[in-house]
Chains A and B, each alone.
Chain A
């Protein structure tokens, strides 16, 4: 079946550097994508989303890039801070009520 996958399960980044978390999706019909952040012991928290008619969207310190040609999604976090340590999930929606989640990438910030 269709699935959302992540290239790397773990990522360690020096504090102050930029982080890039990648996600591959396989359903070409997907038209909505979301990035979630999950801190230890908490529920996922919305970070940023993007629709398939866009290739880039920026938020506060975060940018999501969508490459529909290669079915790739990335989350860029600028000037990474200790509070950014968490597991990051991408999720896709293909025109129905449900989201399909990837397995997550654990981001660790090195002081």
Chain B
């Protein structure tokens, strides 16, 4: 199993540009999550999904959108990137009774 994979690994955007981060998992997990991690801070939940076709807001959802069209994929979109969105983004998945498995992260810089 590949576990949780994320693409791309690195990206540099200019302010106002848009992009989509892709997360894929092959563990048949129901739940999927997008977090951001900033220096000196823990992981903060952006959006999450408890099943195909469902999404919900987390702690810091503003400026992001998500979609879960397929159970194995969870997309995170930035419609108009801002420098404050410079961060490392982690995707995770879990079963309802299990612990989160994390992807390797996407390092995003917004200039």
Q: Which residues of A contact B (CB under 8 A)?
A: 4, 34, 36, 41-46, 49, 89, 97-99, 101-104
Contact = CB atoms under 8 A, between A and B. Distances in A.
The 7 closest A-B pairs by CB, nearest first: A43-B102, A101-B42, A101-B43, A103-B42, A44-B102, A46-B99, A43-B104
Interface in B32-76: 33, 35, 40-45, 48, 50, 58
A45 B102 contact: yes
B42 A98 contact: no
Contacts of B103: 43
A42 to B, nearest CB: 6
Nearest to A5: B42
Given A98-B58, A101-B42, 9 more contacts: A34-B100, A42-B104, A42-B105, A44-B43, A44-B102, A89-B42, A99-B45, A101-B43, A102-B42
B99 A34 contact: yes
Interface residues on B, range: 20 to 34
Nearest to A32: B99
B99 A49 contact: yes
B100 A99 contact: yes
Nearest to B41: A103
Nearest to A103: B42
B111 to A, nearest CB: 21
B36 to A, nearest CB: 11
A46 B101 CA distance: 7
Nearest to B50: A97
Contact of A98 (B45, B90, B101): B45
Given A34-B99, A43-B90, A103-B42, A98 B104 contact: no
A49 B97 CA distance: 12
15 contacts: A34-B99, A41-B105, A42-B105, A43-B105, A44-B90, A45-B102, A46-B100, A49-B99, A89-B43, A97-B50, A97-B96, A98-B33, A98-B45, A99-B100, A103-B40
